[in-house]
């Protein structure tokens, strides 16, 4: 949020000095970045709050909702930039004080790149969908900043005034591409998409690696924010006592939680050879 606020102040000053529509598009994007980051901040605070009697699975899906809100915000920014770019394309105009615009965009480029690197580190550590979505549109901002730099340089150096609005439209396309990624990730969480196949294979391998386990079926997984939910049936010797079966399930659960520390694991013990209805997939 602080980075977005700093970029807004710098770009406002640079846009007033240059009257560049490409820079205006970048300014509009930064204003919406601030709003999107504020939404992310609130979503992460809600997502990490503990489960309660009304939300016994926790609040992780708030991150998926946050991502959809971000998608709406970023789409609005793309629409505004597109309108401004088309207007300037119809009536091209020179860029004033290009050196100011170039200097500000170089600083913006450095700040955005630093933020993306830090966000990538946080996503690796936490698996946060909201921060991942925030990082996706900052990556689009990185390309936006490069496009704006090119627009200012080409327009001022060779009087190619049409380049400024054309690159503004390129920025719109880049923004909309980032929106598609954000929406896909959000829907995966909100619609309880299964974990990736490599994770499911790993869970399956861990489950059947216990010497007393005869098989594993009906594996179901999903993610919610930074947490995973894993459930399956273990096939065990029907002559085991309830206490023995319980100990085996506990051992398998510990092994899976060691591999997935933020996971909630639910195991149902089945006696081997007893017929039952199973998922057809």
207/136 same-domain check: no
pLDDT-above-70 percentage for the chain: 98
Query: Which strands make up the sheet holding 227-236, listed edge to edge?
Result: 213-224, 227-236, 263-271
The continuous run of DSSP H or E covering 195 comes out as none
Q: Final residue of a domain: which of 162, 190, 218?
A: 190
Region 136-163: mean pLDDT is 76
51: CB partners within 8 A, 6+ apart: 57, 58, 59
**Residues 63 and 143 grouped into a single domain:** yes
Number of domains in the chain: 2
What is the pLDDT confidence band of residue 125, given thresholds at 50, 70 and 90?
confident
Is residue 52 situated within a structural domain? yes
Domain end among 132, 165, 190? 190
How confident is residue 236, by pLDDT bands cut at 50, 70 and 90? Answer: very high
Q: Is residue 257 part of a domain?
A: yes
CA–CA dist 255, 203 (Å, integer):
9
Instruction: Verify that 211 and 158 share a domain, yes or no.
Output: no
Question: Same domain, yes or no, for 157 and 86?
Answer: yes
51 or 208: which carries more pLDDT confidence? Answer: 208
Say yes or no: 154 and 202 in one domain.
no
> Rounded distance, CA 136 to CA 179, Å?
8
Q: How confident is the model at residue 93 (pLDDT cuts 50, 70, 90)?
A: low
278 found inside a domain: no
Mean pLDDT value across residues 269-281: 83
Overall pTM surpassing 0.95 (yes/no): no
DSSP single-letter state for residue 50? P
Are both 247 and 177 inside the same structural domain?
Answer: no
The pLDDT assigned to 250 comes to 96
Is residue 98 located within the same domain as residue 223? Answer: no
Same domain for 149 and 232: no
The pLDDT assigned to 156 comes to 73
Q: Distance between CA 35 and CA 41 in Å, rounded? A: 10
Q: Is 61 exposed, middle or buried (0-12, 13-18, 19+ CB in 10 A)?
A: buried
Shortest CA distance to 33 belongs to which of 52, 63, 62, 11? Answer: 11
Task: Please choose, from the candidates 145, 137, 120, the residue with its C-alpha nearest in 3D space to the C-alpha of residue 179.
Answer: 137
Give the tens place of pLDDT for each residue, 216-227.
999 999 987 678
Residues 179 and 101 in one domain: yes
Q: Which positions ≥6 away from 257 have C-beta within 8 Å? A: 263, 265
163 with 221, same domain: the answer is no
What does each C-alpha distance from 13 to 9, 156, 237 come to in angstroms? 6, 18, 74
| Same-domain status, 208 and 146 | no
Please report, for the chain, how many H helices and E strands are present, in that order.
Answer: 8, 3
Domain with 233 in it: what CATH number? 3.30.70.1350
Last residue of a domain, one of 166, 190, 214: 190
Has residue 279 been placed in a domain? no
Residues 104 and 253: their CA atoms lie apart, in Å, by 53
* Cα 209 to chain centroid, rounded: 34
Partnered with residue 267 across adjacent β-strands are: 232
In this structure, the answer to whether residues 155 and 209 fall within a common structural domain is: no
CA distance 148 to 146: 5
Read off the CATH number of the domain in which 120 is found. Answer: 1.20.1510.10
Which residue range(s) make up the domain with 224? 197-271
Contacts of 145 (CB under 8 A, 6+ apart): 26, 105, 108, 109, 112
């Amino acid at each position: 949020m602080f980075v977005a606020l700093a970029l807004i102040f710098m770009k406002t000053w640079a846009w007033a000095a240059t009257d560049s529509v490409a820079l205006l598009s970048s300014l509009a994007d930064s204003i919406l970045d601030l709003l999107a980051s504020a939404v992310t901040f609130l979503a992460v605070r809600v997502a990490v709050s503990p489960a309660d009697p009304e939300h016994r699975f926790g609040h992780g899906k708030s991150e998926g909702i946050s991502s959809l809100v971000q998608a709406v915000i970023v789409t609005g920014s793309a629409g505004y930039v597109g309108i401004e770019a088309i207007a300037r394309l119809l009536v091209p105009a020179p860029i004033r004080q290009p050196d100011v615009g170039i200097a500000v965009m170089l600083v913006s480029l450095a700040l955005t790149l630093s933020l993306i690197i830090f966000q990538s580190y946080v996503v690796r550590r936490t698996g946060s969908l909201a921060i991942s979505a925030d990082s996706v549109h900052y990556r689009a901002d990185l390309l936006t900043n490069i496009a704006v730099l090119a627009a200012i340089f080409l327009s001022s150096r060779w009087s190619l005034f049409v380049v400024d609005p054309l690159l503004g439209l390129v920025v719109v396309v880049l923004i909309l591409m980032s929106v598609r990624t954000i929406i896909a990730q959000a829907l995966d969480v909100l619609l309880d998409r299964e974990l990736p196949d490599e994770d499911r294979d790993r869970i399956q391998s861990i489950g059947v690696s216990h010497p007393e386990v005869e098989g594993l079926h009906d594996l179901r997984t999903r993610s919610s924010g930074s947490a995973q939910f894993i459930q399956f049936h273990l096939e065990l010797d029907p002559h085991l006592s309830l206490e023995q079966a319980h100990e085996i399930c506990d051992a398998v659960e510990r092994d899976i939680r060691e591999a997935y520390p933020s996971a909630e694991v639910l195991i149902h013990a089945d006696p081997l050879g007893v017929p039952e209805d199973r998922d057809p997939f």
